[in-house]
Chain A
């Protein structure tokens, strides 16, 4: 089985039992998300359980490409299970993270890990090649540690007293050797205290952020998983893979001697530069100290960094956008470290703090105020302030060890907290005015639902902020040109043509890329959303190509700017696995996985009537910037689509179009037997039928 190790580790924390699942049983799903959804469907009989229920199953899956030379395709790991962050229902959800965990897991001999049950007392899982043990946290005093201390303690324990950087044999003298330290995935205090916005952290700042998996692990009393491996991953065509890698990077990756466009963060040809959004003083987005780029295993252009001060190592994107009001760059960088050490979701903390500050300014929240909140904003901007704030979320107390109801509420996430505080009621409710900027399923705003249609629709028709930048690159390319002058990488006409030509099986429908108001509820946009869901479900969440570098649509290095997507993804996949997989095969499998997920959400209680944005998305025009392609008088251009909201009635019509396109019952949104059977998901249809949730058709 090229690319695969052959077995998935299954850990029952309740019984303290370790067994295995043959990967072949789920091979049809390829890996990552597809396998995770299928395993979840089989193992969790009652899909209505809460994420904190011991019967919740968390899967941590690799793909056949992990740990290989596929550029920006080797470093991710996919985590799934019933989450606890989304509102009002903790949907079955996903989150993935980068680094070296999936590589090490495969080298230890495992294609994934399935976690079920709940341990009696806090434990960690110690994987050394094929030797797997569930260990009590007490001997290393891990429970209570921050994520850095925990990892360092485990490294010392597993690696013994050998010199750093020397060969070591993790599973005894007869086993293989490695110079690498264990790859550890851990929760911090936020997860231990069941904060719904707790994440999983690997190394300095790789994080499985959304979904609250930190709290799910905390409820299972699982502190960490450590894995160290010395085994080999078979590759079908080693020479072919090496040739493909070199060809791909030569033709499509950055070239410092031949710069083609303004630096963009999420494109295949991006430079190896940290995507850090620190910035307090003018223009200082990057610290001016010694540093290197840092990339996940096998990446051709790292997007993180490590610094001479060691502060904010590997911190990235939203983790660095947080607390831009810090009074110094140093404080802001250290606040990134606080998020990662305590294991708190950066987006929630960032947008939530903006909300709390607004309530404080309005005179509603603070010590002794209507919302009696232990944090004074008098020292806002200081390190003391942010440390207390993060500790409040992590420990669900006042940040100094004392009880605080309001702080405990924060641990429920900002939407639940706002509801508890009575802030969501009436016509001036904060989700109606947009003061609480959390538009989809109680998750903080990322990209704007009112303008970036594939983002907003994809999020609300799914389970979370999608965080998939496939089309978002257009937004940045055009916006930066509006700011700085110059031209985007491609004209609107070129962009639309190149993108839509690659969007098989819908290729050719140019109106999929018309973001204009006239078209925003059309079947063409339904195809855009469907394509995006299917592509990402397979190629990015199952094959595990990195969102920051794939797909490669418009590439200035390519002939006629036509990037490599559609050809390169299957070429790499087949070089590793030896299969004859086409791009369309991947899209079809993505559709299959998406349908399985919709079935799971349906069993969890989803009905089309609940698929709605926060009210402000319908009632308040978007006042920020947005220029996206649209056809005006027969000509394509980048059009200013700011200033609009979503029409609720027309959105209902859009949903119907989308459901019909997907082959689901438009009255309910439930998948139909006909569609599920055509996707070889007849047993899924049976379960829906048993629960009176099968769509007509």
Chain B
């Protein structure tokens, strides 16, 4: 899959900071026997970590919207939508999306680090 384009400064800033309370995204942490629990995620970083959980449930449409509207990362939102369409199971989709988001996060951290 194609790599993501390098993010600009504004995107780096949005990706690496927390969002306002009203802009959080809610997933469901699903760990066996404890029940699916609503989990509020307050940053791109937290969403990435969440997607690495064992069986994370995050409504894909909601994630796409959040990336588009809150993070304003159109490119990533599009790639996520593609991954959803092409995936064969939710697990596969989630893992693929997690990888892409991790890639974006690394780009942003490197960009911030190289500036420092």
Chain A contact residues: helix, strand, loop or mixed? loop
Does A445 lie at the interface of the complex (its beta carbon under 8 Å from any beta carbon of B)? Answer: yes
Does B24 lie at the interface of the complex (its beta carbon under 8 Å from any beta carbon of A)? Answer: yes
Query: 6 more A-B contacts (CB under 8 A) besides A264-B32, A354-B40, A625-B57?
Result: A265-B32, A277-B32, A324-B29, A469-B33, A483-B91, A624-B36
Does A482 lie at the interface of the complex (its beta carbon under 8 Å from any beta carbon of B)? Answer: yes
Does A459 lie at the interface of the complex (its beta carbon under 8 Å from any beta carbon of B)? Answer: no
Does A363 lie at the interface of the complex (its beta carbon under 8 Å from any beta carbon of B)? Answer: yes
Residues B21-56 near A (CB distance < 8 A):
21, 24, 26, 28-40, 42, 52-55
**A621–B107 alpha-carbon span in the complex (Å):** 37
Does B6 lie at the interface of the complex (its beta carbon under 8 Å from any beta carbon of A)? Answer: no
The total number of A-B Cβ pairs within 8 Å is 86
List 23 A–B pairs whose Cβ atoms lie within 8 Å, in order of A's numbering: A265-B33, A275-B32, A281-B52, A282-B53, A283-B52, A285-B31, A317-B33, A324-B29, A351-B37, A354-B39, A361-B24, A362-B21, A437-B38, A446-B34, A448-B36, A469-B33, A479-B55, A483-B91, A484-B89, A623-B38, A624-B36, A624-B38, A625-B30
Does A434 lie at the interface of the complex (its beta carbon under 8 Å from any beta carbon of B)? Answer: yes
B53→A485 contact, CB < 8 A: no
A317→B34 contact, CB < 8 A: yes
Task: Tell me the smallest distance from the CB of A446 to a CB of chain B, in Å.
Answer: 5
Band of interface residues on B: 20 to 34
Known: A283-B54, A358-B21. A318 touches B34 (CB 8 A): yes
**A625–B29 alpha-carbon span in the complex (Å):** 10
**A462–B70 alpha-carbon span in the complex (Å):** 43
Residue positions of A touching B, CB distance < 8 A: 264-266, 275, 277, 279, 281-283, 285, 317-318, 321, 324, 351, 354, 357-358, 361-363, 434, 437, 445-448, 469, 476, 479-480, 482-485, 623-626
**A318–B54 alpha-carbon span in the complex (Å):** 16
Q: Which of A277, A362, A485 contacts B91 (CB 8 A)?
A: A485
Known: A275-B32, A445-B35. A361 touches B40 (CB 8 A): yes
Q: Which residue of A lies closest to B88 (CB)?
A: A485
Does B59 lie at the interface of the complex (its beta carbon under 8 Å from any beta carbon of A)? Answer: yes
Residue positions of B touching A, CB distance < 8 A: 18, 21, 24, 26, 28-40, 42, 52-55, 57, 59, 88-91
Q: Which of A264, A357, A434 contacts B38 (CB 8 A)?
A: A434
A277→B35 contact, CB < 8 A: no
B35→A446 contact, CB < 8 A: yes
**A469–B33 alpha-carbon span in the complex (Å):** 8
Task: Tell me the smallest distance from the CB of B28 to a CB of chain A, in Å.
Answer: 4
Q: Which residues of B contact A434 (CB under 8 A)?
A: 38
Q: Which of A321, A361, A437, A479 contacts B34 (CB 8 A)?
A: A321
Q: Which residue of A lies closest to B24 (CB)?
A: A361
Q: Which residues of B contact A265 (CB under 8 A)?
A: 32-33
